């Protein structure tokens, strides 16, 4: 009887222990996320090729905000841009999540694998496009620009690879993507692994590509980037945002190493 009692007790302990492990909430992946902007501090953020943040960038209502007067496409000064980077750390494989909103006619972009020492970020780093799909071409004359990069079909309009959640000038986001109107918050996610890169907009995949594939190499050598030898050359670098002459707001910026 005594032996049976202890055997029963031992079995109960084992079962209880296993149940505890089974029913215990799974460890939150939140612990794996590294916060790049928490709404209270600009630590780590600075201008591209600079030591400090350019004028116009600040914290407004707990968001990383760029405030500026609207600039026409023809008047935008690419050399004098105010692009910024999170300069505290470089990343190779990662998952990046953030939320953003643009004003009417707004334009920006999310860059990754940025290296410094070049005239500008766009010529070296892939870009997750952010733009006001509905109104940008109505408010900005982009005909000359489109013709200059070989977009001869409807050059006064945004091209598919210029729209939000596209890999800019490389892969177009689908027409049925989920994009909220200007002034509302959207969420974006970039997943970069050894197997390839995938973009998401408001939880839905928009593009996926392998930068080592023949298709990617053909696009890279025949389109806008054919005359930019350093485009997407680097496989590790900073995360950054583009100033393109319009107001911007970002929040909940976080990254997870893969």
So where are the chain's domains?
A: 28-257
The total of other beta-carbon atoms located within 10 Å of residue 94's CB is: 18
Amino acid 116: pLDDT: 97
- Helix (H/G/I), strand (E/B), else coil: 90: strand
As a whole number of angstroms, the distance between CA 55 and CA 52 comes to 9
Tell me the CB-side half-sphere exposure of residue 29, using CA atoms within 13 A. Answer: 6
Contact 45, 64 (CB under 8 A): yes
Give the per-residue pLDDT at 14.
Answer: 44
Q: What tokens does 86 get? A: 């999170």
Average confidence (pLDDT) over 88-94? 98
Cα–Cα nearest to 131, from 110, 114, 154: 110
Q: Are 189 and 199 in contact (CB under 8 A)?
A: yes
* Overall fold of domain 28-257: Jelly Rolls (2.60.120)
Q: What is the mean pLDDT of the chain?
A: 89
Q: Which residue has the higher pLDDT, 140 or 79?
A: 140
Percent of the chain with pLDDT over 70: 87
pLDDT per position as a tens digit, 77-87? 766 679 999 99
């Amino acid at each position: 009887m005594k032996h049976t009692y202890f055997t029963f007790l031992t079995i109960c302990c084992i079962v209880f222990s296993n149940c505890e492990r089974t029913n215990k909430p799974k460890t939150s992946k939140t612990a794996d996320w590294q916060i790049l902007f928490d709404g209270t501090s600009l630590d780590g953020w600075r201008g591209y090729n600079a030591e400090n943040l350019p004028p116009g960038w600040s914290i407004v209502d707990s968001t990383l905000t760029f405030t500026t007067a609207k600039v026409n496409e023809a008047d935008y000064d690419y050399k004098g841009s105010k692009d910024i980077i999170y300069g505290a750390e470089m990343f190779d494989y990662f998952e990046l999540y953030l939320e953003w909103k643009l004003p009417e006619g707004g334009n920006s972009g999310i860059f990754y694998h940025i290296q410094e020492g070049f005239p500008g970020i766009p010529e070296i780093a892939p870009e997750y496009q952010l733009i006001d799909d509905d109104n940008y071409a109505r408010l900005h004359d982009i005909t000359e620009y489109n013709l200059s990069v070989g977009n001869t079909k409807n050059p006064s309009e945004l091209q598919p690879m210029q729209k939000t959640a596209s890999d800019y000038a490389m892969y177009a986001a689908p027409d049925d993507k989920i994009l909220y109107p200007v002034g509302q918050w959207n969420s974006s996610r970039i997943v970069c692994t050894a197997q390839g890169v995938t973009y998401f907009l408001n939880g839905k995949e928009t593009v996926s590509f392998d930068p080592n594939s023949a298709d990617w190499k053909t696009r890279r050598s025949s389109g806008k980037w054919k005359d930019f030898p350093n485009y997407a050359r680097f496989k590790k670098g900073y995360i950054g945002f583009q100033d393109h002459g319009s107001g911007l707001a970002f929040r909940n910026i976080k990254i997870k190493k893969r």
